[in-house]
Chains A and B, each alone.
Chain A
Amino acid sequence: MDLKELSRELLAKGDVQAVLGFRRGTGGRRRPAFIRRPEEAANLVFDAGCAQNLAGYLTRREVRRMGRVAVAAGPDTLRAILQLLAERQLKEEEILPLALDAQGQAEALPTAQAVEAHLALQAKAMPTADRELLDRLGAMDRAGRWAFWQDQFSRCMKCYACRNSCPMCYCGHCTMDCNRPQWVPEASHALGNLEYHLVRAMHLAGRCVTCGDCGRACPVGIPVHLLTFHGEEEVRRQFGQGAGTSARLDYALGTFRPDDKETFIR
């Protein structure tokens, strides 16, 4: 069904109290929209410009307070929803994912199982430019990679747009904001920037749904998403499981199995 029509209906019947989607913004940009009245559903759009992962809003207090929320979701938003369910940050009954196809037609997926089945049919491919740069970095020696990232991080100002745009960065009190004790330097100098990006990369390995929103959010264009893409790929390679594929997924780096391939841990 057409997204606007479906959203209007869901709101009118009281099935959901809000629809989280996109509307027109500055110039040709698209921006998140929180639709709460049936007549506002006409403002919804869904097209190639709607790249942002909306799942991050679902764990916010202001959004939870609205009631049950339907979310206009492309594949990346659906993956993030599954991962949030797996990490017990969302409950199935609190949300209603509306899966969208390229034509803007929406299909309600009321259960995690339905989301999993829908996603199983969607191939996830990394954008070509990202694949090429990751491969290029992989082919470099350590000194080359170090020089690349040092140059990139020198432009970081620690605005945390990458962290705050990430649907998996839902901690109420981030270690980066902790100053008693000060684990990571607050200042955006070489050490502060390096430690922040390394912590973020490690924290998302095995949890990153590879939507790329962190990279899109960076005002100065640092390809920060490649750090978490790489960590995610590595976890997939080593542990055979990927984030955002199932609502019942144990965190690879925090789970023990008696048949672990490493002997030191058994």
Chain B
Amino acid sequence: MAETRFLPQASLEPLFAALVRDGRRILAPTDRDGRAELNVVTSSGEVAWDGGPTILSAKSAAFPKVERLLSFTREGGQVALQDAEPAPAPTVLFALRPCEAGGFGALDAVFNWDTRDRFFNARMAALTVVGLSCVQADEACFCTSVGGGPGSTRGSDLLLTPEDGGFLAEIVTAKGEALAALAPELWQPAGGREKRVADLPAKFDQPALTARLKDLFENGLWAEQALRCLGCGACAFVCPTCVCFDLVEEGDARGGRRLRTWDSCAGPGFTRHASGHNPRETQGQRWRQRIYHKFATYPERFGMVGCVGCGKCTRACPVDMNLAEHLAAAAQA
């Protein structure tokens, strides 16, 4: 594997046609009123190649905002349960940024931690990720501070990097190889082409931060940083690695369904006990939870950082809670 080829610009449209012919659903960034948004496309012309990062992450491809886990019906005192069977369409995430591609690893850590989540796994099995390296970064980006990079292949099955007249194509996994094999005539030898990506210096020292967090749990800086936080779920819902979910049941006397929905640690209902007590009563405690889950718990439990530095939370936040800036401040506290 890890073979590098060249995909000429003129091959893009035939490649999209080959994917459609193969029955794949293509999800790619498109422009909606000036905002980049993931949508189903069938042609390379619909893709916003030079658009900025999408507001929402691609995690919904494997972990949708609402998912039915089971249904139940009640008749004559008998309750019948029906498991929902995941049947995801074969999907290609096209032109996904390397940070987001890396985000699936953090979801996988939780969804395959103790029990193997068949819904997540079915969607991942049907998913092929074609990454697109970044040639520029913005103020919110910090992938290089959390082990990623603008040209990182982590999480991509195939990674494209813009080049004059086309893309350098790194085939990373068997899925990537299978995708390339759908139209072998479209790819050329890489020649001597060099991979050029954005230059993004690290904004903080992550291992040092993780070590520092051990002593900062009771520090006043979390409450101070969170003073302006509105407590909405925008950061968690746009995040490619935020994996917390809630289980809710809806129905009436005749039957209903159990759903899995996205959850957010920013809201007052997060971890509220049945007694009414909440160990994370204040916004500062909930903000601390967000930081610690990603930068202390994940490294300790899974040996990875639970953040890919995509900056989506920073861009989406109505009150400019800049994550990298607050982490840098914590590292120096």
Please report the C-alpha to C-alpha distance between residue A216 and residue B32 in the assembled complex, in whole angstroms.
Answer: 16
Contacts of A57 in B (CB 8 A): 228
Cβ contact within 8 Å between A163 and B232: yes
Contacts of B268 in A (CB 8 A): 173, 177
Contacts of B232 in A (CB 8 A): 159-161, 163-165, 217
Q: Is there a chain A Cβ closer than 8 Å to B11's Cβ?
A: no
Chain B 136-188 interface residues, beta-carbon cutoff 8 Å to A: 138-140
Of B80-88, B104-112, B315-323, the stretch lying at the interface with chain A is B315-323
B7 to chain A, nearest CB (A): 31
Q: Is there a chain B Cβ closer than 8 Å to A188's Cβ?
A: yes
Q: Is there a chain A Cβ closer than 8 Å to B55's Cβ?
A: yes
Evaluate whether A187 and B233 lie within 8 angstroms (CB atoms) in the complex, with A62-B227, A219-B238 already known. no
Q: Which residue of A lies closest to B325 (CB)?
A: A26
Of B124-132, B193-201, B212-220, B256-264, the stretch lying at the interface with chain A is B256-264
B224 to chain A, nearest CB (A): 8
Cβ contact within 8 Å between A164 and B230: yes
Q: Is there a chain A Cβ closer than 8 Å to B51's Cβ?
A: no
Q: Is there a chain A Cβ closer than 8 Å to B314's Cβ?
A: yes
A79 to chain B, nearest CB (A): 19
Cβ contact within 8 Å between B223 and A164: no
Q: Mark B37-72, 1 if CB is under 8 A from A, else 0.
A: 100000000000000000110000000011000000
| Interface size class of chain B, counting residues whose CB lies under 8 Å from the partner chain | 35 or more
Q: Is there a chain A Cβ closer than 8 Å to B269's Cβ?
A: yes
Cβ contact within 8 Å between A188 and B269: no
Interface residue from A161, A179, A188, A220 paired with B318 (Cβ < 8 Å): A161
Contacts of A160 in B (CB 8 A): 232-233, 267
Of A6-14, A28-36, A113-121, the stretch lying at the interface with chain B is A28-36
Cβ contact within 8 Å between B246 and A159: no
Evaluate whether A188 and B66 lie within 8 angstroms (CB atoms) in the complex, with A62-B283, A157-B237 already known. yes
Q: Is there a chain A Cβ closer than 8 Å to B250's Cβ?
A: yes
Please report the C-alpha to C-alpha distance between residue A185 and residue B232 in the assembled complex, in whole angstroms.
Answer: 18
Evaluate whether A26 and B56 lie within 8 angstroms (CB atoms) in the complex, with A34-B227, A159-B264 already known. no
Contacts of A157 in B (CB 8 A): 56, 65, 233, 237, 262
Please report the C-alpha to C-alpha distance between residue A217 and residue B259 in the assembled complex, in whole angstroms.
Answer: 27
Q: Which residue of B lies closest to A32 (CB)?
A: B228
Q: Mark A205-221, 1 if CB is under 8 A from B, else 0.
A: 00000000100110111
Q: Is there a chain B Cβ closer than 8 Å to A248's Cβ?
A: no
**A contacts with B, residue count (CB < 8 A):** 38
Q: Is there a chain A Cβ closer than 8 Å to B231's Cβ?
A: yes
Please report the C-alpha to C-alpha distance between residue A213 and residue B267 in the assembled complex, in whole angstroms.
Answer: 19
Please report the C-alpha to C-alpha distance between residue A157 and residue B66 in the assembled complex, in whole angstroms.
Answer: 9
Cβ contact within 8 Å between A187 and B237: no
A166 to chain B, nearest CB (A): 9
B53 to chain A, nearest CB (A): 12
Q: Mark B232-263, 1 if CB is under 8 A from A, else 0.
A: 11101110000000101010000000010110
Cβ contact within 8 Å between A217 and B318: yes
Cβ contact within 8 Å between A221 and B33: yes
B278 to chain A, nearest CB (A): 12
Cβ contact within 8 Å between B35 and A186: no
Cβ contact within 8 Å between B66 and A52: no
Cβ contact within 8 Å between A165 and B248: no
Q: Mark A163-200, 1 if CB is under 8 A from B, else 0.
A: 11100000001000101001001111100100000000
Q: Is there a chain B Cβ closer than 8 Å to A127's Cβ?
A: no
Q: Is there a chain A Cβ closer than 8 Å to B297's Cβ?
A: no
Cβ contact within 8 Å between B248 and A187: yes
Please report the C-alpha to C-alpha distance between residue A41 and residue B244 in the assembled complex, in whole angstroms.
Answer: 39
Cβ contact within 8 Å between B230 and A221: no
Most chain-B Cβ atoms within 10 A of its Cβ — which of A32, A33, A187?
A187
Cβ contact within 8 Å between A159 and B248: no
Q: Is there a chain B Cβ closer than 8 Å to A25's Cβ?
A: yes
Contacts of A163 in B (CB 8 A): 232
Please report the C-alpha to C-alpha distance between residue A179 and residue B261 in the assembled complex, in whole angstroms.
Answer: 14
Q: Is there a chain A Cβ closer than 8 Å to B271's Cβ?
A: no
Cβ contact within 8 Å between B234 and A159: yes
Cβ contact within 8 Å between B322 and A25: yes
Cβ contact within 8 Å between B246 and A186: yes
Q: Which residue of A lies closest to B269 (CB)?
A: A177
Contacts of B248 in A (CB 8 A): 179, 182, 185-187
Q: What are 27 pairs between A and B in contact, CB < 8 Å? A: A25-B320, A25-B322, A26-B314, A26-B325, A32-B227, A34-B228, A57-B228, A62-B227, A157-B262, A159-B233, A160-B232, A160-B267, A161-B230, A161-B232, A177-B267, A179-B248, A182-B250, A185-B250, A186-B246, A186-B248, A188-B66, A188-B262, A217-B230, A217-B234, A220-B37, A221-B32, A221-B35
Known: A57-B228, A185-B250, A220-B35; 10 extra A-B contacts, CB below 8 A, are: A26-B139, A26-B140, A30-B320, A158-B233, A160-B267, A182-B248, A187-B250, A189-B66, A213-B318, A220-B55
The 4 closest A-B pairs by CB, nearest first: A217-B318, A31-B320, A159-B233, A25-B320
